Amino acid sequence: MVGSTLLKPSPEVPLPVEPEIDTLHAAEFARELRRVSETLPPRINIDAESVEQGLAKLVLTLIEFIRRLLEKQAIRRMEGGDLSPEQVEELGLALMKLEEKMRELKAQFGLAEEDLNLDLGPVGRLI
């Protein structure tokens, strides 16, 4: 029998069976926690349709990651002052179109903003 001789006596601080929750802003936190739980990943179905869906998600996530990098890069260059106003305009238009295209693709696959992410474990999330 595991632990019968090792069992410590009940700790002096008794722990309630219900978690004690203490806040002055219940509604506000409920709203935020709902938001957090809504971005929980969906279950996995191992069938053809969701393999395709999973693949689309992966590809779009990577594109999204790169797209955001490009935006940041463009902003840095704009701030750096080494772009002419015409170049800034052209860059902005291109990125704007890219964002629009991504929005279309996401809609096509029924993916929301929060769906596009990769959990890299201890390293954190990609986006």
Partner 1 sequence: MNLYAYCLGDEVTAGAVENELGVAGAHPRLVERAGIAAVVSEYDDEKIAVTRENVLAHERVVRRVLALTTPLPFRFGTIVSEARLVSYLDAQEAKLKEQLARVRGAVEMSVKIIWRPEARGNEAAGGRDIGTAGGSGTRFLLEKRRELLGEGALKERAEEVSAWLGRAVEGLVRESSVSLRPSENLILAASHLVERELLADYRRALGCAKTERPELHFLTSGAWPPYSFISVAP
Partner 2 sequence: MADEDLEQLLDEESELSLLETLDHVLNRGLVIAGEITIAVADIDLIFLGLNVLVSSVETAHEVLKERQQIQSPKSEV
Calculate the CA 119 to chain-centre distance. 8
> Is residue 89 close enough to count as binding partner 1 by CB under 8 A?
yes
Cβ distance 108 to 56 under 8 Å? no
Q: Which is nearer to partner 2, 2 or 36 (CB)?
A: 36
> Is residue 41 close enough to count as binding partner 2 by CB under 8 A?
yes
> Is residue 110 close enough to count as binding partner 2 by CB under 8 A?
no
Cβ distance 126 to 61 under 8 Å? yes
> Is residue 23 close enough to count as binding partner 1 by CB under 8 A?
yes
For residue 37, what are its two tokens? 């739980």
Tell me the three state secondary structure of residue 125: strand
Look at residue 74 and give the partner it binds from partner 2, partner 1, none, a contact being a CB closer than 5 to 8 Å depending on partner kind.
partner 1
* Cα–Cα dist 58/52, whole Å: 10
Q: Which is nearer to partner 1, 3 or 110 (CB)?
A: 3
* Cα–Cα dist 86/63, whole Å: 26
> Is residue 44 close enough to count as binding partner 2 by CB under 8 A?
yes
Calculate the CA 124 to chain-centre distance. 10
Tell me the three state secondary structure of residue 119: strand
Look at residue 8 and give the partner it binds from partner 2, partner 1, none, a contact being a CB closer than 5 to 8 Å depending on partner kind.
partner 1
Which of these ranges, 45-53, 56-64, 68-76, 105-113, lies near partner 1 under the rule CB under 8 A? 68-76
Q: Which of 13, 40, 48, 123 binds partner 2 (CB under 8 A)?
A: 40
> Is residue 66 close enough to count as binding partner 1 by CB under 8 A?
no
